[in-house]
Amino acid sequence: MCAALELARRGYDVDLFDEKAEPLTQASRYNEGKIHLGLVYAKDGSLETAKTMIEGALHFNACLERWIDIASMDPFLSTPYYYAVHKDTMTDPAELELHYGSCQRLFEEACSATGLCYLGKERRLLVERVPVEEMAGLVGPEQCVRLYRTNELAVDVRGIADRLCAAVRSNPRIRFHSGATVLSVTREGAGKLCVAFGNRGAEKRESYDQVANTLWHGRLEVDSTYGLAPQRSWMYRYKLGGWINLPMEEAIPSVTFVLGPFGDIVNLGRRGLYFSWYPAGMLATSQAVKPPDWSGEIPESKRRAVLRESFSAVRSLCPALHAVEYSEDAVEAAGGVIFAWGATDIDHQSSRLHTRHEIGIRSAGNYHTVNTGKYTMVPYLGYQVAERIVGLAGDSM
């Protein structure tokens, strides 16, 4: 959608295909919304993931403001994150602190180089250790060995999605194909690309000068129809978290528990609370080119049980959550497919899932396939997709 909006802004006509009735109903609407500054990627000793995330984070607002109103985005922002080091951490606090210091340096260098600031607010990355005597009011000291205060933030991804959808729907240069499952992309005469798609039981075809495959759970499958094979091992995962759609007190902290298969709490104030607990919420994995349709296979009773277990787990780590009423009527499941390079899950020390820098755009002529890696990177990579297409198109479109 970001790529389409940027291309339309430059005067090009764009078709968007989505298998659902509305756009942005999958992973881009169902995640914790953290705009990463590299802190959680301490197991990437090269620092390449931290550099990549910081670049995306600094461009997040700068790109979005080209397409939607972000002047009034403050209600979409979370409270600042704490990083709580779990007693079963895969990386000890001393190593984490070294990594946090490196992220601070990289952040300042990136701000200086780009002239940008983080979410329109910060030019300095705050990471400070919380005194032991203050920890007990924030996280359970029997399970968390150290706590750090940061100024990293999350956004309410639902609010961003709604504004992007409205922008697409109102743009006369963008034609949205709902209920359209892309089946293949093939070459045809005069350098054109043919997109075949199923729509309401019928197969249809359209020809294009340029095609961008920005799918998430279906990207590899469509790439294979064009003759592109993955360049490394990969893993699809289906993760379930939840929102409590009730106003939250500011005293409830936003927390990421590190480093390992733990979880997050995101306090979005009046817009509610997001929570996830990896051991309960990671429901399925696949290394197939075409993963199963997990969203349609998991019954509602299972989703509700997972959410209750997840909330119970994070509440045991955060005393302030005992004041939050868990009401089934107010809890909304937030599930989606996650794609990443790697063959082992994050509980493995050497898992490639601990990195996210091998992402971006892979082009074969006028066909472009995009691995965004993390939500943080989406607007910037959307902008870069448009840049690449315009650069290739020249004056011919």
Give CA–CA dist 387/13, Å, rounded.
15
Q: Token digits for 219?
A: 């990207």
Q: Are 256 and 317 in contact (CB under 8 A)?
A: no
> Which of 84, 78, 83, 245 has its CA nearest to residue 154?
78
Q: Are 33 and 157 in contact (CB under 8 A)?
A: yes
pTM over 0.85: yes
pLDDT for 171: 98
Kindly tell me if the per-residue pLDDT of 365 is higher than 60: yes
Lowest-pLDDT range of 22-26, 93-97, 104-108, 359-363: 22-26
pLDDT in tens, 290-305: 999 998 899 999 999 9
Q: What percent of the chain has pLDDT over 70?
A: 99
Give CA–CA dist 63/61, Å, rounded.
5
Spatial neighbors of 16 by CB under 8 A, at least 6 apart, are 1, 4, 23, 168, 174, 175, 176, 177
**What is the pLDDT confidence band of residue 396, given thresholds at 50, 70 and 90?**
very low
Kindly tell me if the per-residue pLDDT of 232 is higher than 70: yes
Determine whether domain 2-393 maps to CATH 3.50.50.
yes
pLDDT in tens, 130-144: 999 999 999 999 999
Q: What share of the chain is helix, strand, coil (3-state, %, to 5)?
A: 35, 25, 40
pLDDT in tens, 267-283: 999 999 999 999 999 99
Q: What is the mean pLDDT of residues 255-265?
A: 98
Q: Token digits for 93?
A: 């606090």
Lowest-pLDDT range of 78-92, 148-162, 188-202: 188-202
Give CA–CA dist 341/294, Å, rounded.
19
Domain ranges in the chain are 2-393
**What is the pLDDT confidence band of residue 200, given thresholds at 50, 70 and 90?**
confident
pLDDT in tens, 21-60: 999 998 899 999 999 999 999 999 999 999 999 999 999 9
Q: Are 229 and 289 in contact (CB under 8 A)?
A: no
The burial class, CB within 10 Å (0-12 / 13-18 / 19+), for 386 is buried
Give CA–CA dist 340/342, Å, rounded.
6
pLDDT for 397: 32
Q: Are 345 and 5 in contact (CB under 8 A)?
A: no
Q: How many CA atoms does the CB half-sphere of 298 hold within 13 Å?
A: 22
Kindly tell me if the per-residue pLDDT of 253 is higher than 90: yes
Give CA–CA dist 145/149, Å, rounded.
14
- Give the residue ranges of DSSP H helices in 251-374: 278-281, 294-297, 300-317
pLDDT in tens, 314-360: 999 999 999 999 999 999 998 889 999 999 999 999 999 999 999 99
End-to-end CA, the chain: 19
